[in-house]
Amino acid sequence: NNELNIITGTLALKRRTVLDIMTNLADAFMLPYDAVLDFETLAEISRQGFTRIPIFDKVRTHVVGLLNIKDLALLDPDDCTAVKTLCMYYNYELCFVKDNTSLDLMLEEFKKGRSHMAFVRRFSRESEGGRDAAYEVIGVVTLEDIIEEMIQAEISDE
């Protein structure tokens, strides 16, 4: 029964973490910071169909920006606009969370409305150098992932 499912799912938000439900970085559709939005790239973005596209610098674990497909609506493929240019123009605030962040906390973050996608990071011992380098992104999580947990069902996309 639906109501019971939702109550059970909502209560479970406290116990579960973003690590349990995130989309693994390997499965995320992302673009490099130095890419250009030529016809090929725009066609691939359209084919993939995601609303938000994380932007990485050199290695995928180093997420530096985010594009929203609505930002691309007026682009002319012939202009070959640089991803970097759009990233700097829109400059979306990125939300990074630790992999052990509980889903109820994550939901509170999403409700604040700054971003509906968060980047899940874990401490990585390999890079002990810089302060930032000690963390690497391992996945992405969106509001939809959390809602699916609450209703305990998959949401089929249109």
With beta carbons less than 8 A apart as the criterion, state whether 150 and 14 touch: no
Q: Which of these, 142, 141, 124, lies nearest to 133 by C-alpha position?
A: 124
Applying CB under 6 A, among 8, 51, 91, 100 the residue interacting with ligand ADP is 51
Angle (CA) 58 61 62, round 5°:
55
Is 52 an interacting residue with respect to ligand ADP (CB under 6 A)? yes
Residues 53, 57, 58, 59, Cα dihedral to 10°: -60
- Per CB under 6 A, which of residues 79..108 are in contact with ligand ADP? none
If residue 43 lies in a helix (H) or strand (E), which one and from where to where?
helix 39-48
Nearest residue (CB) to ligand ADP, 126 versus 157: 157
Is 29 an interacting residue with respect to ligand ADP (CB under 6 A)? yes
Is 50 an interacting residue with respect to ligand ADP (CB under 6 A)? yes
Nearest residue (CB) to ligand ADP, 31 versus 136: 31
Segment interacting with ligand ADP, rule: CB under 6 A, options 38-46, 75-83, 89-97, 140-148: 140-148
